[in-house]
Chains A and B, each alone.
Chain A
Amino acid sequence: MKEQVLLGDEAVALGAIHAGLTAAYAYPGTPSTEITEFLIRYMEKNGGPHAAWCANEKTALEEGLGVSMVGRRALVSMKHVGLNVAADPLMNSALLSIEGGLVIAVADDPGMHSSQNEQDSRFYADFAHLPCLEPTDQQEAYEMTREAFELSEWYRTPVIIRLVTRLAHSRAVVHLSDPVEQRPLQKTTNRAGWILLPANARKQWQSLLDRENELQERSDNSPVNRLDLNKADNSLGVITTGIARNYYFENLDDLTCKPSHLHIGMYPPPLDKMRKLAAHVDTLLILEEGYPLLERQLRGLLPRAKGDLTIRGKMDGALPAAGELTPDIVRSSLGLEPAQGVRVDGLPLATRPPQLCAGCPHCDTYSALTQAMAGFEKSVVTADIGCYTLGALPPYSTIESCVCMGASIGMAKGASEAGYRPAVAMIGDSTFLHSGITPLIDAAAGNTDMTLVILDNEATAMTGGQDPLIPSSRLEQIVLGVGVEPDHFHVVPAHPKKVDQLAAILRTEMEHKGLSVVIAVRECIETAKRKKAAAAVTAIS
C-alpha cells in the first residue's frame, strides 16, 4: 500500500482527489489554507481536478453546489469563521437533493492561534441538520473525506468534515487506498429538490427531518463511534471527540483502572451508545475539543436525582471552557498528577508578539496615516482582517477595531453618521474583494463622509501570500464603478520615500466632507522575495 507524509489539511485534499473529486473551491484562512494549496499544486502538476481560490466562502460553497447539481463531486474548504460567511448557502443546501457528493471541510481554531473567535463548527452541522465527520488523525482525515462523499450521495446531503488547528497543521504518514474515477456529468432530474420555492422547501424540510432517524442509526452502527465498556469496573466512563482522544490515549497508561470509553467521530452523535455508556458508569467525563456540544445534551435541563450519574466536563470546570485542549489539561481532568518539566524561577523572558515584516508596505501606510491624523481633535480608524491588523500593536498602535471580513468599511460609515469624524477604514485588497465592495456601495450611495484606505499588497499575505483573485489594477475600476467621485480617488505608492505624499493626500481627503478612497499600493515584501528566489532557482537550473 502506498503511503505519504501529509498535513491533516493535505490528507483531506488527497482524500478528496482519490474520491473522484471534480472541483474544489475555497477562500484562504488559517488553519484551512493548506487544503486548497495542496489541490492547486496537484492540479498544476497533474492537470486536474479543478481547484481555485474564490472571492469568499459564500461564493465558494455556491460554486460547489453547481458542481453537485450536475452530478459531480466538489470539496469546499474554509476556516471556521468563513462558515459564517457561507452560512446562507449552508443552511439552505441542507434542504437540497444533493446529486454529486458535496463535502465542506471546515478547520476550527480553538485557542485562537490565528483567529478572532473559537466557534465550534459542529454546532453549524447540528443547526443545519447535516452529518459531520471529525477525524482524530491524518489517516482518518484521509479516510473520512472519502467516506464523506459516499455519505453525501447516499443521503443526498452536504457533509461537513471538521478539523482543528492541531490536526490541520500536524504532519504524519498516511496510508493511501486506490483512487476512484470522477462521477459522470449528469444533471439532477429532481427539479423540486433544487428549487426551494416554499411549496418545495416544505417537502424538502420534511424529508430532511425524516432522514434524521436513518442518520442516527448509521451513527450508532458506525465503527468510528466506538464503545469499549469495562465490564469489571463502572466508576468512570470517558467520551472523547476528535483529537481529544489522542490526549486521552497519551495519559491512559498512567491510569490504574481503565475507564469505559466512547469515542465519537460521526455526528449526529450515537445516542444509543451514549445511553449505554451512561447507564454503565457512575461518573461520565466528556472530553470535547471545542464548545461543550455533547456535554450540554447529556446534562439536559432538569436536576439529577441523588446518586444518579455525575457528569464532568467544560461546564463544571473539570476542563477549562476557553482555549484548546492539551495532553496536560486532559491529564488533570483524569485526576492524574501533572508531569513536571524543568523549573527555573525568574527566567529572563519577554513577550514577542507577531509584527509587520521589515520593509512591509503597510509600515509606510501606517506611518503616513499617523502623520495625517496629527492635530485632529477626534478621529476613528476602523480596520479589518489581515497582516495590517498588526497596526494595532506598537510602534503604530493606530487602528481601533478588527471584527470580521469587511467590517472596517461599514463601521467607519456608522461612526461617521453618528457624528464621529474623520472616520477612516483600513482594509487589504483581498479582504476588500471578499466583503468590502458591498459596504462601499452603501457608503457611495449616501456619499458618507469617510475615507477608505485599501492597502493593496497584491496578495493574501497573512495566509501565505496567495495571488490576488483579479489583478490589483482592477480595484480602481471597482471603486469608480460603484460611484466614488474620481476627484476623491487616489492610487499612491506605499513606499518609504512616498510617505509624505501619501500623508498629504490622506490629510486632504480626511478633511473633505464626503466619501474618498485611497489605494496605497506596493507588493508584499514576502511574495516579492519569493518570486525573486524562484527566478534565481530557474536561472540555476
Chain B
Amino acid sequence: MRCDIVLAGVGGQGVLSIGAIIAAAALEEGLYVKQSEVHGMSQRGGAVQANLRISDSPIGSDLIPKGRATMILSMEPMESLRYLEYLSPEGTLITSSKPVLNIAKYPDLDEVLDAVRKLPHSILVDADRLAREAGAARSTNMVIVGAAAGLLPIEPVVIERFILKKFRNKGDKVVDINLKAFRAGREAAVCTPT
C-alpha cells in the first residue's frame, strides 16, 4: 500500500498543518511516513507545496515522483492545478474552491474551477463556507483533511484523535470547531461524485 499526497496552497494557509495531522495519524496506524516541507522564503504568501508519503513498507525518496501521487490536497483552487504532473491518472485532486487573490494577474476563477471539475477524479469543496459554519474560517484546512479522509489508509477516528491532540491546548471550543470542520469535509466529499 502506498499513499502519496501532494499538499498545496499559499503560505500562511495552514498547508503544513494538514500534513502534520495526517502524518501523525498514519504513524499511529503503524505505517511508514515521510513528510517533506519547504520553509523560509517560500512561506511568505507565495505558492507552498509539501509532500507526504505513507506506506506499509519503507519509503525511499522524500519527494514524490511525477505521475505517482494518490492525491493532491489543496487549500486553493489555482494552486491545486500547479502540481498536476505529479498526480497519477487514477489519483484524485481535492481542493478548496475559494481563491487567494494576493496576486495581480489571477486567472478567471470560473476557468480555474472548470479545469478542476474536468479532471477524471476531483473533489471541489466550499471549505471556507463549511469552516465558517463550523465556527471559524481558520479551520478550513481541517475541512480539507475531512474531504480527503475517505481516500486515506487511516481510520477517521484516529484522525479525530489527533485533531483533539493538536488543538487541546487552545481550549474546548477550538477543538470542537476543528472536529466539526473535519466532519463537514467528510460529508461534503461523500456527496461529491469523483
Contacts and interface: CB of A to CB of B under 8 A. Distances in A.
B41 interface: yes
A348 B62 contact: no
Given A339-B66, A341-B84, A342-B87, A352 B46 contact: yes
Interface stretch (A127-135, A222-230, A325-333): A325-333
A338 B61 contact: no
Nearest to B119: A342
Given A342-B89, A344-B119, A247 B84 contact: no
Interface stretch (A50-58, A95-103, A165-173, A429-437): A165-173
B108 A348 contact: yes
Interface residues of A, number: 52
Contacts of B104: 394
B176 interface: no
Contacts of B67: 338-341
B89 to A, nearest CB: 6
Contacts of B60: 246-247, 249-250, 327
Interface string A334-355: 0000111111100111111111
Interface stretch (B32-40, B144-152, B156-164): B32-40
B3 interface: no
B10 A344 contact: no
Contact of A171 (B10, B35, B112, B120): B35
A257 interface: no
B154 to A, nearest CB: 15
A383 B27 CA distance: 45
Contact of A113 (B38, B69, B111): B38
A5 B24 CA distance: 9
A338 B39 contact: no
Interface in B86-115: 86-89, 91, 93, 102-108, 111-112, 115
Interface in A307-330: 326-328
A352 B112 contact: no
Contact of B103 (A5, A342, A352, A464): A352
Contacts of B188: none
A390 interface: yes
Contacts of A170: 34-37, 62
Which of B36, B64, B106 has its CB near the most chain A CB atoms (within 10 A)? B36
Q: How large is the interface on B (under 10, 10 to 19, 20 to 34, 35 or more residues)?
A: 35 or more
Contact of A350 (B32, B36, B103): B103
A347 B84 contact: yes
A493 interface: no
Given A327-B63, A339-B68, A350 B39 contact: no
A498 to B, nearest CB: 24
Interface in A346-399: 347-357, 387, 390, 394
A145 interface: no
A348 B111 contact: yes
Interface string B7-46: 0001110000000000110010000111111111111111
B85 interface: yes
Contacts of B46: 352-355
A447 interface: no
B41 A340 contact: no
**Max chain A Cβ within 10 angstroms of own Cβ: one of B41, B81, B89, B104:** B41
Contacts of B10: 352
A541 interface: yes
Nearest to A253: B60
Nearest to B84: A342
A251 B108 CA distance: 39
A390 B107 CA distance: 23
B45 A114 contact: no
A245 to B, nearest CB: 8
B137 interface: no
B84 A343 contact: yes
B27 A5 contact: yes
A30 interface: yes
A113 B65 contact: no
B65 A462 contact: no
B82 interface: yes
Contact of B27 (A173, A341, A348, A355): A173
A540 to B, nearest CB: 5
B40 A113 contact: yes
Nearest to B62: A170
A249 B78 CA distance: 33
Interface of B: 10-12, 23-24, 27, 32-47, 59-69, 78-79, 81-82, 84-89, 91, 93, 102-108, 111-112, 115, 118-120, 169-171
Interface of A: 5, 30-31, 33-34, 113-114, 165-167, 169-173, 243, 246-247, 249-251, 326-328, 331, 338-344, 347-357, 387, 390, 394, 462-464, 537, 540-541
25 contacts: A113-B40, A171-B36, A172-B34, A173-B27, A243-B62, A246-B62, A247-B61, A327-B65, A328-B65, A339-B67, A340-B67, A340-B89, A341-B86, A341-B89, A342-B85, A342-B120, A344-B115, A347-B115, A350-B106, A350-B107, A353-B46, A354-B41, A354-B43, A464-B39, A537-B170
- Which are the 4 A-B pairs with shortest beta-carbon distances? A114-B40, A30-B40, A354-B46, A348-B107
